[in-house]
Structure 1
Amino acid sequence: MSHRYLHRTVNRRTLLSGATALAAGSLLAACGDGDGGANDNSATANKSVKLPAYVPSTAVKPDLPGNANGLLNAFLAYPSPPPKQFTGPPLSGGTVSAFVLTGSPVPPPKGNNPFWQALDRELGVDLQLTITPSAEMATKFSTLITGDDLPDLIVPALFLPNGVPAGIGNLPQWMAAKCTDLTSYLGGDAVNDYPNLANIPTGAWRQCVYNGGIYGVPVHRGVAGTLMFRRDDIVAKLGVDPDPQSFAEFRDFCVKVTDAKANRWAIVNAGGLMHMVQQMVGAPNGWRWDGSKLTNVVETEEFRKALSDVVELYKAGVVHPDSFANNAPVKRWFNAGEAVLTADRYTAWPQFYAENIAGPEFKISGMRPPKYDGGGFAPTWQSNAGSINNFTVFKKADEGRIRDLLKLCNYLAAPFGTAEWLFRRYGHEGTHYDMENGGPVLTQAGASQTVLGVRYIVDAPDTIFIPGRPEATQLSYDYQKSIIDTSVPDPVVANGLFSDEWSRKQPTLGQLVLNGQNDIIAGRQQLSHLDEVIGNWRSQGGDKVRAEFTEQLQKSGIR
């Protein structure tokens, strides 16, 4: 995953980073001695866990089917009428509390929020949510741990690009002490008691395994990861070949579409170039394991080569001149046509269309990275979060309580295409959304009331769907279909490894690399400065992380 995307993640999605991460880490250390080896979370212990059986839902049939390699199902329009899964509420009274996050403005409280009230009626429970903006999660989570007054459901962390919970120390020990091992409820065929949870692909559950057990329910995302979005409407007007076949042709593309007088540049920032060029040169996705040695991408010659080329592209003036500004509005630049390319998650596809200001001619697709010297396309990098966005743990409770919580989660995981999914995401038609060209469009009331954060408790398997734009859905599906079979995972994530040092230090180490990379690209440092960056990365935790991961790889016999 690109360090540009890492930078966005640290600012927008990371729950615990910097000083507050260390504070949370010290709080969690109360569950143990702080030694990463004390966490009973080795690859060997977790390998034997019986994951939930995967039983795909047949509630709706996709217009464009996915596959077992990670290609997502796609829908050209929302099913009409949508099938209804539940004949009544999953619960019959009482209260459920949950600690969740939101990346949107905090919605109105329940007393002033008709959607929240309607959700309570659908669930059959008084749902008490602590809804916290992403930027405040570090402080709020630390306070939650300190008080030890835990809600029923807790989102302990979002995953960083390298597939680890953000900045939390001794996470396995904390979960063992305070949270419920769900293996007996969900492992193997036991999950069939909750069909919508059984509908979640196996890969997502692997990221919920700690201490030799299943310690959470996942929020599934596809493995397609970050791609290079391209403004096809602009490229067509300029008459430029949209699919370069080598780095040289890609460089020519960037130069040709850039016109500073027209307020248009090739790309929103240099981090996107790093993401693209690293794939062209064959850099590893996060880590490289050769059977005996583990190497981080920043230590490789491929990273150095990509950085050198991006320095030259930046000098050529193809990057938006304000790209190094804090919180640069890169999505707005892309939608406004100030840049032709931007690197972002595949999940941004519908967002770009929702925020489109170019009118009906607006058209985007994905640019595949060519091999550096030509000869076909380079493999893309799979999502380093291991096909999930986050997971949710359950506070320790008796069996009856846990089963009630699982029934609630089973409702919240109703698959795309059902009446329950549509209500949970969009509310009531005519009040919270309107149907336009086969897709729901939120009203102002819907946009403010529905962002309760319940989608971060658990979610249905992700799908490809761009409301009201079937042709865009087809393009998104076609792009994923072209890259999934050859995409490469991070071996650390793919093998379910956990390093306490990595969990604590990854935000800091990632920022260290990002700062050094940006200094070199912007011309504040020479390329030789990379040696100092690598040295600092190793001494400030990288070598310890490597040792923890390597020990697990060797003990597991992974080649």
Structure 2
Amino acid sequence: MTGNTPRMDRRSFLRSAAFASVGAAGGGLLSACSSSSAGTADNAADNSAVELPAYQPYTAVRPDYPGNAQGLLNGFSGYPAHPARTIGAPPAHGGTISAFVETGSPIPPGLGSNPYWQELNKRVGAKLDLTIVPAADLTTKFATLIAGGDLPDFMVPPLPPLAGVRGLPQFLAAKCQDLTEFLSGDAVKEYPYLANITTDAWRSCVFDGGIYGLPVSRGVAGSLMFYRADLFDTLGADPNPSSYAEFFQLCKDVTDAKKGRWALVTAGSAVAFVAQMLGVPNGWSEKNGKLTSSYEDERYKQTLSQVRTMVQAGVIHPDSFDPAAPWKQWFNAGNGLMGEDRYTAWPQYYADNVAGSAFEVAGMRPPKFDGGGFAGTWQSPPVNNFTPLKKASASRIRELLSVANWLAAPFGTEEYLFRKFGLPGTDYSLRNGGPAPTQAGLAQTVLGIRYITDAPDTIFVPGDSEATKACYDYQRAIIPTSVKDPTVSLFSETYSRTGAVLAQHLSDAANDILTGRKSISSWDTAVGQWRSSGGDKMRAEFEKQLG
């Protein structure tokens, strides 16, 4: 790529295409954002017969903004001033507990120089031996882990899209613990905070007729087009375009290259937004048991054509071709006014704010392409990832599940506050009703334990109740009309083995079109190659389970 060519990298492409249940996660924010997986097609009947853990929601802390069964998360304007410690004794009984986890943050200080990690071990009741792997290295490291045979107690597979994990259901059956007897039905109530995880999230852990892991649940709101509301206001820009034409004009109006300001931080952001305007399927569309990929939909090709025009118009940051481009920093600095990102980034943008007290972000809803109301947004899966446990004795599994139960303590508890933010005065300070991390806290607390299991997600921007309400209102508006991928909770071995490679080929083909090196018609050839190289086989594997 040349220095002035905006590139759409594979993650942006996966995000924009919503291919095969890949959750939308902005620019590498959460590489573990994943498709849900539920065993092989041949075992679909066995999977559907599994009794999932009984759902028993935690109700001791009432939300300021209540969620609902559609997937709207509970919202909290502040953290309880005096949260209770709800688990009296450490859940483990000494010794060592090992875990293979990922992180999207810089690797934290080791145990010997990390007071948070040391305190975490005391509270858990065991030495946590954590192998913390950068997200970019997870696929390679996980393959090495499996090949070596010395498995940790907890392990986080690389997602999406289970890249490079060949024979995942077979690996789970051979090496990992079937948790059905410990968690199915009312058995989960022995671990009340695991029972607080929704039923939809548990479906991601079902393989070959058993429960083979713990879910890390997330909201279904997915990604959205963030915009700098403070700068829109300064520029007098309307954040509610009623059609694609108005959106494109808005992009041209707010772009001023001489001042180092562009409408969009990445081409991938534009592709995702325009595709939703046009009604492109969320990964796959289903009719009478037959699936059509979003890649094959003519509206996706139209999306590429429209975004190509936007690239030519210069409304996208000119350096966004670089997969490592610091587009979040551009957004925070005001060099790019709009960017697609996961809803979980809402509080992070405020934490990273460099613009002062006027800083404000908001979510822009996609209008229908030709006008006439809002388009449906793409739902994400109800999980971020799942975590298998290696086979062990029943007593050891119960101890590990007790630790997992502690790790899933919900919002409002003292355990949650410590797990997320560390120790008061050292790792965070309370400000405006919310924990504000210190530099020490930001460095020390990113141990990756949130990928072992986690409490149900909430809407909470620490120290900013107005931003919390804005995030809640956005989710409440879009979720009722959001579009689900019909392959969520299904597993394709072909997708697991080749999905990432094939997506890279299509990402390259899309970049060739966006940058003008190839014609729009070249997309048909690229999709044909995708089909013959594995796309049709993925489709067949998914369809067998739909039946």
Which TM-score bucket, shorter chain as reference? over 0.9
Matched, 1:5 2:15: yes
Give the equivalent residue in structure 2 for 1:272.
Answer: 269
Change (3 A) 1:546 1:40: closer
Match of 2:535 in 1: 542
1:511 equivalent in structure 2: 504
Give 1:244's aligned amino acid.
P
Conservation of the 8 A alpha-carbon contact between 1:227 and 1:344:
yes
Q: 1:65 to 1:460 in 2, by over 3 A?
A: same
In 1, the alpha carbon distance for the partners of 2:386 and 2:480 equals: 26
Say which of 301, 304, 307 aligns to 2:301: 304
Q: Which runs of 5+ in 1 are unaligned?
A: 17-37, 555-559
Equivalent in the alignment of 1:177:
174
Matches within 5 A, 1:274-289: 274-289=271-286
State yes or no: 1:454 paired with 2:449. Answer: yes
Measure the CA separation in 2 of the matches of 1:10 and 1:41.
35
Report SS of the residue matched to 1:56: coil
Equivalent in the alignment of 1:418: 413
Structure-1-length-normalised TM-score = 0.91
Pair 1:404-2:395 in alignment? no
Correspondence list, 1:235-274, <5 A:
235-274=232-271
- Stretch of structure 1 that moved more, 480-489 or 436-445: 436-445
Describe the shift of the 1:9–1:472 C-alpha distance in structure 2 as closer, same or farther (beyond 3 A). Answer: closer
Quote the Cα distance in structure 2 between the aligned partners of 1:265 and 1:195: 49
CA distance in 2, matches of 1:302, 1:171: 34
- State the Cα RMSD in Å: 2.1
- Looking at structure 2, the residues matched to 93 and 469 of structure 1 have their Cα atoms a distance apart, in angstroms, of 40
**Counterparts of residues 50-449 of structure 1 (less than 5 Å):** 50-158=51-159, 160=160, 164-383=161-380, 386-449=381-444
- Give the distance between the partners of 2:14 and 2:264, measured in 1 at CA: 12
Asked if 2 retains the 8 angstrom alpha-carbon contact of 1:75 and 1:465, the reply is yes
For structure 2, which runs of at least 5 residues remain unmatched after alignment? 1-10, 18-24, 34-38
The amino acid across from 2:457 in the alignment is D
CA–CA distance in 2 between the matches of 1:286 and 1:134?
Answer: 23
SS in 2 for 1:53: coil
In structure 1, how many angstroms separate the alpha carbons of the residues matched to 2:169 and 2:26? 23
For 2:500 and 2:16, the matched residues in 1 are separated by 9
Contact residue 66 and residue 74 of structure 2 kept, 8 A? yes
Aligned to 2:473: 478
Q: Look up the equivalent residue of 2:166 and give its one-letter code.
A: G
Report SS of the residue matched to 2:157. Answer: strand
Shift of 1:237: 1.3
Q: How many residues align structurally?
A: 528
Mapped contact 1:157–1:391 kept (Cα < 8 A): no
Q: Is the 8 A contact 1:15 1:138 kept in 2?
A: no
What do residues 43-75 of structure 1 show as CA deviations (whole Å, max 9, x unaligned)? 322111111111110231111111110000111
1:134-177 CA distance string (max 9 Å, x none): 2222232222111211111111233x2xxx42331110000000
Q: Secondary structure at the match of 1:72?
A: coil
Contact 1:175 1:215 in 2 (8 A): yes
Task: Tell me, yes or no, if the aligned pair for 2:27 and 2:341 is still in contact at 8 Å.
Answer: no
Quote the Cα distance in structure 2 between the aligned partners of 1:208 and 1:287: 21
TM-score using structure 2 length: 0.93
Counterpart code for 1:53: A
> What is the letter of the counterpart of residue 363 of structure 1?
E
CA distance, structure 2, for counterparts of residue 521 and residue 132 of structure 1: 33
Cα distance, 1:91 vs structure 2? 2.2
Contact 1:51/1:205 (<8 A) preserved:
yes
Residues 271 and 303, structure 2, Cα contact 8 Å, conserved in 1: yes
Q: Distance in 2 between matches of 1:371 and 1:171?
A: 40
User: Secondary structure in 2 aligned to 1:71?
Assistant: coil
